[in-house]
A and B are shown apart, each in its own frame.
Chain A
Amino acid sequence: MNSPSYNITAMEAGLLSCHGCDLLSARQDSLQQALQCPRCGASLHGRKTNSLARTWALVITAFILYVPSMLLPITTVTSLGKVQSDTIMSGVILFIQSGSWEIALVIFVASIIVPMMKLLILVYLLISVQRKSQWRPRDRAKLYRLTEFVGRWSMVDVYVVTILVALVNFGVLADIDAGPAAFYFAAVVIITIIAARTFDPRLIWDGIEDK
């Protein structure tokens, strides 16, 4: 066993903690009825409701939206009558060609690698929980925390686009418009954050205890 020093979980003890008032109450094993906190009336859950299905749904949504966010142009730059649309990837290539590979690296990591990694991690966690995997639960918990922490940083790209659109607005001389990919990209980031939230990391340990 990976966790020999732990004694008992709230679930095993048949107890529920209220999210609203932290009151510990005994659990009634009734599948049909919703449970309620005897003190404040908040509904009680032993685990996040329907966690796996929700996370799966959101992860799949994020995967679907990831495709247009990469293929469609994220910015449309009008400079002296010259119109140029760039996708995230073509922007990265542009920065590499113009010599600023540091910026290219930042954009590449923040906008392409991080969202993809998050989604892949979530998929792995979901599968491992469903298969009641015993393999290194501590590391998997760490992975989950990393995903949750890193999630919001992908919004940097969306912020950069919004700031550019607001700042660079000189009519014919120079104008930047957000492309359709900006919407899809923001959607991917937000949905991934929600998906990470709906995943219940306690499920990782439940699988181990069941064995």
Chain B
Amino acid sequence: MSENDQKQNSPDIIPTALVKEKRTLSLIWLIPLVALAIGVWLTIKAINEKGPTVTITFKSAEGLNAGKTKVKYKNVDVGLVEEIQFGEDLSNVEVIASLSPDMRNYLTDDGTEFWVVRARLAGGKVSGLGTILSGAYISMQPGSPGKKMRHFTGLDTPPPLKIDIPGSRYVLTSPTLSSLDIGTSIFYRKLRVGEVVNYELDEKNDSIRIEVFIQSPYDKHVHENTRFWNASGISAEFGADGVEIKTESIGAILTGGIAFGKPDKVGKQPVADQGHEFYLFKSEKKAFEKQYIKKEQYLVYFDGSVRGLTIGSPVTVLGMHAGEVIDLRLEFDLRDSSFKIPVLLEMETERLSIIGQDTGMELPTLEELVRRGLRAQLRSGSLLTGQLLIDLNMYENAEPATVTYEEGVAILPTIPTSLDAIKSSLQALMNKIEKMPLEEIGQNLNGTLEGINKLTNSGDLHDTLVNLNKASAQLNKTLKQAESVAAGFDESSPAYQDIRKTMNELSAAARSLRLMMDYLERHPEALIKGK
């Protein structure tokens, strides 16, 4: 304690040390620091994860919910609808969605698409079934790098196909769209290989241009001579083999479809390029019918009824299909005040094979043929439907005629319709029938019947029958006596045999007599009319 004493003893010399308050920071402050660090980390993460916000304009917000509807790409959530509001003048809705930062570089003016996915049935396939339970969602297609955009217009229908599927596009031309739609399936050997991507009206040719997509590797089956045909619905053919019903698939019945194939005979042709144009045939049959390019037109005039003749009615030569009717109209000729029907025919001359050219002989001209008797005639194609056809044939006895020309088209002479001839003879027959004295015949018949009546109801008939009965009984008696006589004979003697024979015959006679009696009793008129 000496030191203490020293201090106390010398207060003026040595000052008392100041007590410094400990100001060490308590470790407890680490806790808020850690919390702060977590907070900062969360904030940075949130800012980093905050992706771009886009505005998508849709016609309607059917099925979309702010804060709930997801934006998906390849079925992965990439965003959420934040807000739904009306666009200007209330004509559409604007959907504001925040997307994940992954999408930042793909929201460009080049191919970025948004559309609403709902359950739908199109092109032979059902899609978006999941949305029945989970509600609609917005699907997106990221674009290629390009100018960045934040405002998009949503599609009404899903875009045709994802760009990332390899395959080829082709163009089909068709006079009508029929039941095709975007997404309609395309079949190859009943295998679904592609779909209709787009269609538009071709103003220039007044036809429909249908853009189709065939997936790889099936696109290598599309050759330049490949035929496409409309496989919509069911085609039923009634032929000699019965009914044949053709369809590509149940889906095709419901939603239509396109099929393609190549003609069997023609040799292999190069694979068609992208964008190659094909004609869309109405049916498989039409697609594979032999094509005749060379066609010649002829004109024929009919003055009788052509009811049953239409555009497309066949023209035959000796019953072989050789062309068709392409036009017919009604004309009134002021010169002789008569109706005329000019019918324009188109003949596929390539159907005719020429043989014997090696003999050096030349083809006869039309004039020559007509001089030899070539005539056109209206004929009935089917009695059931009344369809008419035009038959060209050689009639050697036909009245002489010549070929004339109308606007460069040859006019073939005609001979009267065979149907007309039938009609007129039928008319004559009817006239004859009408002239017959039907009334008189009827009266005579009546008189005859009365006489018969009198006869059958008179007592004479009855008496006759009674007498016949008696005769029959008598006969029976005689037979019995004869039998007893016969019993006396020896079986082997000729007399016995004779008698036996006689007896059998008598017995048969008696039986038929009885039968006749019975019959007469039931049908007394048989006496007059016979059996």
Query: How distant is A120 from chain B, measured CB to nearest CB, in Å?
Result: 17
Please give, as numbers and ranges, the residues of chain A lying within 8 Å of B68 by CB-CB distance.
Answer: 82, 84
Q: How many B residues touch A, CB cutoff 8 Å?
A: 20
B308 at the interface (CB under 8 A from A): no
Known: A61-B35, A64-B39. A54 touches B28 (CB 8 A): yes
Complex-state Cα separation, A53 to B133, whole angstroms: 55
Asked if A58 contacts B31 (CB within 8 A), the reply is yes
B465 at the interface (CB under 8 A from A): no
Please give, as numbers and ranges, the residues of chain B lying within 8 Å of A60 by CB-CB distance.
Answer: 32, 35
Which A residues from 66 to 118 make CB contacts under 8 A with B?
67-68, 72, 80-84, 90
Q: Mark B478-498, 1 if CB is under 8 A from A, else 0.
A: 000000000000000000000
A31 at the interface (CB under 8 A from B): yes
Asked if A68 contacts B28 (CB within 8 A), the reply is no
Asked if B38 contacts A57 (CB within 8 A), the reply is no
A58 to chain B: closest residue by CB? B31
B51 at the interface (CB under 8 A from A): no
A37 at the interface (CB under 8 A from B): no
Q: Which secondary structure dominates chain B's binding surface?
A: helix
Please give, as numbers and ranges, the residues of chain B lying within 8 Å of A58 by CB-CB distance.
Answer: 28, 31-32
Complex-state Cα separation, A162 to B297, whole angstroms: 89
A33 at the interface (CB under 8 A from B): no
Which B residues from 151 to 179 make CB contacts under 8 A with A?
none
Known: A31-B19, A67-B39. A61 touches B133 (CB 8 A): no
Please give, as numbers and ranges, the residues of chain A lying within 8 Å of B42 by CB-CB distance.
Answer: 68, 72
Asked if A50 contacts B130 (CB within 8 A), the reply is no
Asked if B133 contacts A80 (CB within 8 A), the reply is yes
Known: A80-B134, A81-B134, A82-B135. A53 touches B29 (CB 8 A): yes
Which B residues from 13 to 42 make CB contacts under 8 A with A?
19, 26, 28-29, 31-32, 34-36, 38-39, 42
Asked if B26 contacts A64 (CB within 8 A), the reply is no
B41 to chain A: closest residue by CB? A68
Asked if A64 contacts B133 (CB within 8 A), the reply is no
Most A CB contacts (10 A, CB to CB) among B34, B35, B133 go to B35
Asked if B135 contacts A64 (CB within 8 A), the reply is no
Which residue numbers of A lie inside 8 Å of B, CB to CB?
Answer: 31, 50, 53-54, 57-58, 60-62, 64-65, 67-68, 72, 80-84, 90, 191
The 6 residue pairs across chains A and B that have the minimum distance between CB atoms: A64-B35, A61-B35, A81-B134, A60-B32, A61-B32, A57-B28
